[in-house]
Amino acid sequence: MNEEINKALQILKEGGLILYPTDTVWGIGCDAANTEAINKVFQLKEREDSKALICLVADERMLKKYVKKIPEAAYAIIDVTEDPITIIYDDAQNLAPNLIAEDNTIAIRIPNDDFCFQLLRRFNGAIVSTSANISGLPTPKSFKEISKEVIKGVDYVVNLHREKICNKPSSILKLSSDGVVKIIRP
């Protein structure tokens, strides 16, 4: 795993794209602070850049770097939820402008996956994580379902967990600064 982390880190630091296993589905990833790399993700996915992307952070300490004020409810949700959950936060900061939604929100997940955790800790920053498919097409449930177009469009494919089958992406909640919780994707 260490060798795979090192290879992925090199690509991320160079502004490239990686294809990597997460705690949910295979993701296309890049440095969440690199505007040009995020543009490459939108181009590869053939996705409008007005549609927001999710990013991953290693832990609550790293989360604080990207959200100005984390609502108390977020900590409770993170602590009690067993299934993967992405939370949309108000007042994003320290991320590429084209990653932050028009309403200044950002979708962030703390993955429960050793590879992702180690990669994020060593990268010491947020990494984009969007499903490894062309926009509008079904989310691949396994590595073998990822299109050749996506595989050829990234700079590095992580050679781990290729046999893993994923049932579904994370749930998504919008947690506003005023405490309002809205379920976006159950």
Helix/strand/coil (H/E/C) assignment for every residue in the chain = CHHHHHHHHHHHHCCCCEEEECCCCEEEECECCCHHHHHHHHHHHCCCCCCCCEEECCCHHHHHHHECCCCHHHHHHHHHCCCCEEEEECCECCCCCCCCCCCCCEEEECCCCHHHHHHHHHHCCCEECEECCCCCCCCCCEHHHCCHHHHHHCCEECCCCCCCECCCCCEEEEECCCCCEEEEEC
Give the tens place of pLDDT for each residue, 25-76.
999 999 999 999 999 999 999 998 778 899 999 999 999 999 999 998 899 8
Average pLDDT, the chain: 93
> Mind listing the domains of the chain with CATH numbers?
2-185 (3.90.870.10)
pLDDT score at 163: 80
Q: How large is the average pLDDT for residues 149-165?
A: 92
Per-residue pLDDT band for 114 (boundaries 50, 70, 90) equals very high
82 pLDDT above the threshold of 90: no
Write down the pTM of the prediction. 0.93
